[in-house]
């Protein structure tokens, strides 16, 4: 049985890190949901925009696989770029889609956690003041509707770079959102907060870059695994990421990656078959 995780929130959960900036993560025990079915994960995991890239999901799942050496993990991508907390209202399309996709996933997996990252779009006094109560309704309703009353919810903080740079004026209150998210984690059962401290942004100064998303995913996993808040950058984050990158590829993983290149038209039929037979010969 696959252990599944729902990913919701706005663009930094969907992922905007540039795919070309980090080594591929490919692990046959990491699946992603498409049309209600599981397939081997190849990033991007989300499809909310044509330019969706690296989010926290892949390194979260890799760390999970290191801990759970024989089982499979499935990621349910439902985050939507630029969405405000009000866009996630119960009954709205984003919320209902997330519930429905999770229900499809539950037919063939056990829903084990919810990963949340959202708040850039609520960085204003009104947004801050009502964040706790609005988010509570979302979390309580998700848990009830999906029949997972005690499921861990891991909430990620907003980037410390947000109030600098070109669009900084829109994010002046980002630290107040982080305060509410931490307060939420401290006062609600089975909720944990992870800091975005030290993480870096794309040139837009809005979105975590790919390397930082890899680190962020590790923090999400650490909070999930230990059931603790992560309030400071973790020791050895970088070396742990390098370990993930050095994992040798299995036959199934090589086959998936070769199939992806052939499917995109980056490889001739002859080259494809040659590479496939090499993979098979080596086993």
Binding site for a second copy (CB under 8 A): 16, 18, 20-21, 34-37, 39, 42-43, 47-51, 53, 78, 80, 93-94, 96-97, 100, 104, 107, 166, 202-204, 259-265, 268-269
Alpha helices in 194-266 (DSSP H): 210-226, 237-245, 251-263
| Closest C-alpha to 217, from 68, 66, 55 | 55
The 3-state DSSP composition of the chain as helix, strand, coil percent (nearest 5) reads: 45, 15, 40
Residue 143: in which H helix or E strand, if any? helix 125-145
b/e burial code for range 188-200 (CB count within 10 A of at least 16 → b)? bebbbbbbbeebb
Other beta carbons less than 10 A from residue 133's beta carbon: 8
Residue with smaller CB distance to a second copy, 1 or 269? 269
Residue with smaller CB distance to a second copy, 212 or 229? 212
Min dist CB 58 to a second copy, Å, is 13
Tokens 């980056």: give the residue: 266
Residue with smaller CB distance to a second copy, 43 or 237? 43
Min dist CB 145 to a second copy, Å, is 14
Min dist CB 53 to a second copy, Å, is 7
**Edge-to-edge strand order for the sheet containing 109-117?**
37-40, 30-34, 73-77, 2-9, 109-117, 153-156, 191-194
Residue with smaller CB distance to a second copy, 23 or 263? 263
Min dist CB 46 to a second copy, Å, is 9
Min dist CB 186 to a second copy, Å, is 30
């Amino acid at each position: 049985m696959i252990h599944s995780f729902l990913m919701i929130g706005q663009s930094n959960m969907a992922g905007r890190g540039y795919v070309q900036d980090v080594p591929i993560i490919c692990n046959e025990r990491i699946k992603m949901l498409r049309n209600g079915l599981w397939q081997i994960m190849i990033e991007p995991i989300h499809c909310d925009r044509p330019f969706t890239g690296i989010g926290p999901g892949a390194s979260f799942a890799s760390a999970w696989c290191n801990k759970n050496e024989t089982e499979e993990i499935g990621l349910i991508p439902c985050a939507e770029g630029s969405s405000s907390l009000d866009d996630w209202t119960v009954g709205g399309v984003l919320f209902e889609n997330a519930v429905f996709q999770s229900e499809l996933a539950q037919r063939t997996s056990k829903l084990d956690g919810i990963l949340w990252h959202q708040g850039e779009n609520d960085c204003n006094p009104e947004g801050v003041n009502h964040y706790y109560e609005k988010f509570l309704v979302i979390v309580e309703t998700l848990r009830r509707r999906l029949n997972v009353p005690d499921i861990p919810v891991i909430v990620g903080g907003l980037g410390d770079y947000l109030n600098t740079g070109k669009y900084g004026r829109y994010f002046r209150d980002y630290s107040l959102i982080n305060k509410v998210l931490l307060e939420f984690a401290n006062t609600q059962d089975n909720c944990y907060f992870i800091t975005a401290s030290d993480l870096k942004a794309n040139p837009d100064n809005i979105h975590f870059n790919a390397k930082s998303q890899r680190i962020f995913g590790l923090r999400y996993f650490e909070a999930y695994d230990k059931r603790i808040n992560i309030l400071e950058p973790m020791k050895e984050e970088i070396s742990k990421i390098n370990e993930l990158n050095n994992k040798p590829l299995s036959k199934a993983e090589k086959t998936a990656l070769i199939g992806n290149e052939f499917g995109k038209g980056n490889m001739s039929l002859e080259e494809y078959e040659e590479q496939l037979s090499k993979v098979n010969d080596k086993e």
